[in-house]
């Protein structure tokens, strides 16, 4: 098993797994605490439009997904801050339209025959050196932003009214959290794909909640758990020759079920 580590694509996959897990642990904690899982899912699926547009224009796929995801996050923030009555219908519409736009642009791209399933369900072993550089840049931005604005993000996440009384711009930081979630989604595309990214954001955090009493601790534990799930998922994927994204998520689900079963018996 250890001999496979000599291959560049395996090394890239492991590095990418760690980078994605760090982002997923931090942002997943914010997604769960702020109860914006559905919104993040809408951003994830809408970003497929950016993938299709990037392919059509000949741009880097992750760059196209980033632009589309961030724009979607800003739109969703504006909508949710001003009108929450029909947010479920609006998110569903953006979810579907983003996917449709992506498919249409891919269909319009002459001679394009690359398997798009890797963007939907992940293919971490296909991560290139350029992808790693981009993921690293996203990770640095996500981590540094959360560290720098941690007190404000903490206040907004747990008590927005108290944050407002303290003079914190709640609208700005709520929008920032959604933008960070969008960037995390883009970073995780190559690992688990747009369909499964929500599971990677929420399962480690759901487990970490049992062992953490502070948001910062939850972020650290979530990142560690996400890293474990990713590495074990890669091992399972290699041994059984199955999809890496699905393997990572199934490992997370099995471990989650096992831990919850133990706690239930106690």
Q: Whole-angstrom Cα distance, residue 169 to residue 38?
A: 23
Percent of the chain with pLDDT over 70: 96
Closest CA to 13 of 259, 253, 261, 237: 237
pLDDT bucket at 10, cuts 50 / 70 / 90: confident
pLDDT digits over 91-129, tens only?
888 888 999 999 899 888 887 666 667 788 888 888 889
Entry pTM: 0.93
Q: Whole-angstrom Cα distance, residue 240 to residue 243?
A: 9
pLDDT for residue 265 is more than 60: yes
Q: Whole-angstrom Cα distance, residue 258 to residue 109?
A: 46
pLDDT at residue 149, as a whole number: 97
Containing H/E element for 20? helix 8-33
pLDDT bucket at 248, cuts 50 / 70 / 90: very high
pLDDT at residue 112, as a whole number: 65
Least confident of 19-33, 121-135, 218-232, 246-260: 121-135
pLDDT at residue 63, as a whole number: 92
* CATH number of the domain bearing residue 232: 1.10.3470.10
pLDDT bucket at 243, cuts 50 / 70 / 90: confident
pLDDT digits over 164-180, tens only?
999 999 999 999 999 99
Closest CA to 184 of 228, 219, 234, 156: 219
**Contact, 227 vs 21, CB < 8 A?**
yes
Identify the domain containing residue 115 by its residue range. 2-265
Q: Whole-angstrom Cα distance, residue 135 to residue 125?
A: 14
Q: How many CB atoms lie within 10 A of CB 261?
A: 10
pLDDT for residue 203 is more than 60: yes
pLDDT at residue 163, as a whole number: 92
pLDDT for residue 266 is more than 80: no
pLDDT digits over 36-69, tens only?
998 999 999 999 999 999 999 999 988 999 999 9
Give Cα separations from 173 to 168, 198, 202, 210 (angstroms).
8, 21, 21, 26
pLDDT digits over 184-195, tens only?
999 898 778 888
Total number of domains constituting the chain:
1
């Amino acid at each position: 098993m250890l001999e496979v580590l000599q291959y560049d694509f395996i090394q890239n996959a492991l590095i990418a797994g760690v980078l994605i897990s760090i982002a997923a642990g931090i942002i997943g904690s914010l997604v769960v605490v702020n109860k914006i899982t559905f919104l993040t899912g809408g951003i994830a699926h809408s970003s497929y439009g950016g993938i299709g547009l990037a392919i059509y224009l000949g741009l880097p796929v992750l760059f196209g997904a980033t632009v589309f995801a961030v724009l979607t996050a800003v739109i969703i923030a504006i909508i949710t801050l001003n009108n929450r009555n029909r947010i479920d219908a609006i998110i569903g519409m953006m979810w579907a339209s983003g996917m449709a736009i992506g498919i249409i642009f891919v269909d319009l791209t002459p001679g394009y025959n690359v398997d798009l399933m890797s963007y939907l369900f992940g293919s971490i072993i296909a991560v290139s050196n350029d992808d790693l550089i981009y993921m690293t840049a996203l990770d640095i931005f996500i981590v540094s932003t959360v560290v720098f604005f941690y007190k404000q993000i903490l206040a907004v996440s747990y008590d927005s009214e108290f944050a407002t009384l303290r003079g914190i711009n709640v609208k700005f930081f709520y929008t920032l959290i959604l933008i960070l979630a969008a960037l995390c989604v883009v970073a995780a595309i190559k690992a688990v794909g747009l369909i499964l990214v929500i599971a990677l954001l929420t399962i480690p955090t759901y487990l970490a909640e049992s062992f953490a009493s502070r948001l910062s601790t939850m972020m650290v534990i979530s990142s560690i758990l996400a890293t474990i799930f990713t590495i074990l998922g890669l091992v399972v994927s290699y041994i059984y020759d199955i999809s890496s994204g699905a393997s990572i998520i199934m490992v997370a689900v099995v471990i989650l079920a096992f831990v919850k079963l133990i706690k239930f018996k106690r």
